[in-house]
Amino acid sequence: MEDGRREQGRNRMSQRERERRAYRRRRAMRRRRTIILSVTVLLLALVCAGVWLGFGKDLLQKARGGNSTAQGPVNQDQNSGQMVSEHESSQQDASWGDTQLSEENEDGQVSNGNEESQGNLPSFDENGEETEDRAAQQADLLEGLYSPYAVLVDLASGQTLAERNSSDRMYPASMTKIMTAILAIEEAGGMDRTVTVPYEIYAALWEEGASMAGFEAGEQASVEDLVYGVLLPSGAECCITLAELVSGSESAFVEQMNQKADELGMENTHFCNTTGLHDADHYTTASDIAVLLQYALKNDEFRNIFTKHRYSTRPTDQHPDGFTFYSTMFQSLGDGAVTGGEILGGKTGYTEEAGLCLASLAQVNGKDYILVTAGAPGSHDTEPMHTIDAKTVYSRIGERGL
């Protein structure tokens, strides 16, 4: 009997314990539901507040729209609410280049970008829809480059997307040969025309240490072979041979180069020779070279040559089987692949005074871009900082989906 009572007592205690545990579980579940509900309500309140604030900014922007002139890019760090130094802000503003300095307002008047800022209001497209601030995406495309001079251009629109000291005078080295090549294509009287490479040009070129394509003195070469020799291996003998064919002398051809530069609006450019060999009065800017390359790429012959990796010449007496030369850019670059696309072609340049230079064309995310860089440290015997810069910038475009 006594054992039975004890067993019943234990059963009643076990039952009460189970009831207490079940109660605690129900209470904990109610607490969790209460917390989840509170957080949900708070999030909904924040979302509603954000929507209302955005709507208010929308109304404010539209209210100001009738009186505002064209507005330059908004500083990226201002949009994020961060403070920047005056020096940092000026560097970010510089990345927009000269193309942002002449926009038209609604009355057709030109704005120089110095008008009073309208604050951190969002930008809108022609349909009144809010658009992403492309300035924020583009501001640091050229950040951290080895090259002190640089400009990035959308080829289709001609818009400067980013720039770095692009209006400062610098030495172009063999980027000069872009002008030599396009003038020869336009003025030589046909790509199949043949010409004799002059004997007398070699002594001075060897003394200067000029790069050569490989043609021999007295060799008969076609204009096409010589233009390939200008753009791919950067052959100085090809430049002077074409200049004498077109104009009778290198000096007369240089006059035509400067005339073409004036026609294209290359206001800070002056050529002294066809090769880019150093001369203190032979100068240009990154922006001017970009203008020149945009013009040259409209010519199908030029673009076809500019984007070749290698080329074999026609047979001649000196070279019965022809000979092959290679693009100096692709020799430095190796694989032209970048994020979202590839580097299609380019013209390198180097002198001790000019540093490593490159004017290149790339297609990224289905769009064509031009990048001109100059003044990178190094030489033909060091790391190719100019092609490293090109891969860096084009890959950033691909990563950001611009």
Tokens describing residue 71:
């507005």
| CA gap 109, 126 in Å, rounded | 18
**Which amino acid makes up residue 267?**
E
Helix ranges (H only) for 174-285 are 177-187, 202-208, 223-231, 236-247, 250-263
DSSP string, 232-259: SS--HHHHHHHHHHHHSSHHHHHHHHHH
Q: Which residues are catalytic?
A: 174, 177, 234
Nearest by Cα to 69 from 103, 100, 105 = 105
Cβ atoms of 343 and 353 within 8 Å: the answer is no
What number of other Cβ atoms are within 10 A of residue 210's Cβ? 21
| CA gap 261, 288 in Å, rounded | 9
Q: How far is residue 242 CA from its own chain's centroid?
A: 31
Tokens describing residue 106:
């609604």
The side-by-side arrangement of strands in the sheet containing 149-154 is: 160-164, 149-154, 367-376, 355-364, 341-351, 337-338
| CA gap 255, 274 in Å, rounded | 10
State the first-to-last Cα distance of the chain, in angstroms, to the nearest integer.
Answer: 89
Cβ atoms of 341 and 370 within 8 Å: the answer is no
Cα→Cα distances 274→70, 199, 230, Å: 42, 18, 10
Long-range contacts of 117-120 (CB under 8 A, 24+ apart): 117/71, 118/64, 118/68, 118/71, 120/74, 120/78, 120/79
What number of other Cβ atoms are within 10 A of residue 281's Cβ? 7
Instruction: Determine which helix (DSSP H) or strand (DSSP E) holds 101, and give its type and residue range.
Output: none
